Amino acid sequence: MPTAVYKQGTIFYEEKGSGEPLIFIHGVGLDHTMWKQQKDSLSDSFRVIVYDMLGHGGSEHPPGPYSLTHYVEQLSGLMEYLQIEKTHLVGFSMGGMVAQAFALTYKNKLKTLTIMNAVANRTDEQRKGILARVEEVRENGPLGTIEPAIQRWFNPEFIESESEVVNQVRHRLQTNNPASYLAAYTLFATADAELWPKLKNIETPAFIITAEHDLGSNPQMGRQMHERIKGSDIRIVPGMKHMLPVEGAEIVNNELRRFIGKQASQVG
93 domain-assigned: yes
Task: Note the pLDDT of residue 267.
Answer: 67
Q: What is the pLDDT of residue 218?
A: 97
Report the CATH number that the domain containing residue 167 is assigned in CATH: 3.40.50.1820
Q: What pLDDT score does 265 carry?
A: 85
Q: What is the pLDDT of residue 229?
A: 98
Asked if residue 106 belongs to a domain, the reply is: yes
In a domain, 268, yes or no: no
Mean of the per-residue pLDDT values for the chain? 97
pLDDT averages per 10-residue partition of the chain, 268 residues? 91 98 98 98 98 98 97 98 98 98 98 98 96 95 94 98 98 97 97 97 98 97 98 98 98 98 82
Total count of domains within the chain: 1
What pLDDT shows up at residue 268? 57
Q: What is the pLDDT of residues 128-169, one digit of tens each?
A: 999 999 999 999 999 999 999 999 999 999 999 999 999 999
Burial profile 82-104: b = 16 or more Cβ within 10 angstroms, e = fewer: beeeebbbbbbbbbbbbbbbbbb
Q: Are 68 and 194 in contact (CB under 8 A)?
A: yes
Q: What is residue 264's predicted lDDT score, i.e. its pLDDT?
A: 84
Q: What is the pLDDT of residue 8?
A: 84
